[in-house]
Structure 1
Amino acid sequence: MSARISPLRLEAFEQLPKHARRCVFWEVDPSTLGGDDHLADPEFEKEAWLSMVMLEWGSCAQLAVRGGAEPGERTEATEVFHGESCLGYVFYAPPGAVPRARKFPTGPVSADAVLLTSIGLESPDDGDHVSRGLISAVVADLVRRGVRALEAFGRTALVADLCPESGVPDDLEQVIEVLGDCSAGQCIIAADLLIDMGFEVVAPHPYFPRLRLELEQGLGWKADVEAALERLLESARLQAPLGATTFA
């Protein structure tokens, strides 16, 4: 199944699946809610967070929709998808804009890295090539912006054993604190998936290791990134006014 991938714009917020629109696991600090694990309007909170990050930092999400382009092909950032089926999405941001990141025992995120927070796929059948296309789009975006690395907190299979009944270590209570219908088991990326994508563990942990992808080395993404950057440069040349000069 082919997918078109583009930076998410606020105009396309409704294109995201319901959980993605309502998930504020990473974006809201539960300790600020006074013990209440539910928000009156999580969609508003998520959209407000996206608006803030986009305004202050730039693109912080990629959206994959069903389309006729080649698998993983990125489209223009100005495109808004209407009535097209979402295949997947990915969110990323400076770690300072992600409150939950401060709760992890394997933190902090490195000063030269951007934090990958979540990947969502609507169909397991399309999982591998859509997830690779989404990560490739993130990598291409960050390389263009001069970012050196992408990091993420992963969850291991042992996370399933963490529950109040069996006892939770003190340093993990805030990591796994449920917020609405969001939980660590659902909203933290599986460490095995990250490793399959080329990430390497830089801070080991039995439950929540921190992993890193060195963008300057490519780590298997070099060809994808170069192709994506070439498309961006070609797009800039085509859109430049007559007589204008574009720079690589």
Structure 2
Amino acid sequence: MSTSITSLTLEGLDKLSSHARRCVFWEMDPAVRTSPEFRDLHDPEFEKEAWLSMVMLEWGSCGQVALVDDKPAGCALYAPPSMVPRADLFPTSPVSADAILLTTMRLEPIGEEHGLGATLIQAAVGDLIRRGVRALEAFGIRGVDASSDVPAATAALECSPQECMINADFLEDIGFEVVAPHHRFPRLRLELDRDHLWKADVEAALDRLLEVASLSVVDIGEKSAVGAC
């Protein structure tokens, strides 16, 4: 079973899971998206692709994608907060001026089995450090109940704060710190520096070495089996 993490490209949108391709929780103004005249006409997958295209053309790659045996396993999406319509609608807004906003950290069941959450964040951090970004921020969510503090997405899209936001405990576990406390929607921040990049590069190199070693062991085993015959 092989796993890989790659930067999201316009040609690789099919590497996103079906939910990630259709979810516009962050990418559209909820007041517009839930209006009766708009709701019956819009195509969420088209809207998501249009948003991703806009961000990539104006700013560059805005995500990391995890695959397990070439099947979508998870993704991390991020962008300048000025490009994220929902970024100003939280009680802990706005995002700091020097930070990029991590909007999505989604794992499919197979991605959870392989523990790819931290690996996706490391890939995002490595990308942003190389581009000179100073910090990564995210709006976390605590608890399991819906809140009226943030307009919910339409149920038809299977989107909600619980479904489309990142668990605050997960963010804290991987090094984010709360910079704007809130009982439901804290804003958290991860300072980016060269140490993060060094760590990500070393771990990537170790992963490659382990993969080569495992392939060598398999190859030796196969040759031994042929020799025994």
> How far apart, CA to CA, are the structure 1 residues paired with 2:66 and 2:127?
15
State yes or no: 1:103 paired with 2:78. no
Aligned residue number for residue 207 of structure 1: 184
> How far apart, CA to CA, are the structure 1 residues paired with 2:138 and 2:183?
15
State yes or no: 1:16 paired with 2:2. no
Contact 1:144 1:229 in 2 (8 A): no
Q: Percent identity, please.
A: 53
- The amino acid across from 2:166 in the alignment is I
CA RMSD of aligned residues (A): 2.4
Q: Quick one: higher RCO (CA 8 Å, sep 6+), 1 or 2?
A: 1
- The amino acid across from 2:52 in the alignment is L
Structure 1 position 15, deviation (Å): 2.3
Contact 1:3 1:130 in 2 (8 A): no
Q: Which has the larger radius of gyration?
A: 2
Instruction: Provide the aligned length of Structure 1 versus Structure 2.
Output: 202
CA deviation profile, 1:62-112 (whole Å, cap 9, x unmatched): 111125xxxxxxxxxxxxxxxx21111110000000001110110100000
State yes or no: 1:194 paired with 2:171. yes
CA deviation profile, 1:101-150 (whole Å, cap 9, x unmatched): 11011010000000000111112673573111100000000000000000
Contact 2:74 2:107 in 1 (8 A): yes
Residues 71-220 of structure 1: pairs in structure 2 closer than 5 A: 84-123=70-109, 126=112, 129-157=115-143, 159-160=144-145, 162=147, 168=148, 172=149, 175-179=150-154, 180-216=157-193, 218=195
Please give the TM-score of this superposition, normalised by the length of structure 1.
Answer: 0.74
> How far apart, CA to CA, are the structure 1 residues paired with 2:183 and 2:68?
37
CA deviation profile, 1:165-206 (whole Å, cap 9, x unmatched): xxx4xxx1xx23223321111001010110111100000000
**Structure 2 vs 1, CA of residues 105 and 115 (structure 1 numbering), >3 Å: closer, same or farther?**
same
Contact 1:121 1:127 in 2 (8 A): no
Residues 233-248 of structure 1: pairs in structure 2 closer than 5 A: none
Contact 1:137 1:228 in 2 (8 A): no
Residues 24-35 of structure 1: pairs in structure 2 closer than 5 A: 24-33=24-33, 35=35
Please give the TM-score of this superposition, normalised by the length of structure 2.
Answer: 0.80
Q: Which runs of 5+ in 2 are unaligned?
A: 207-229
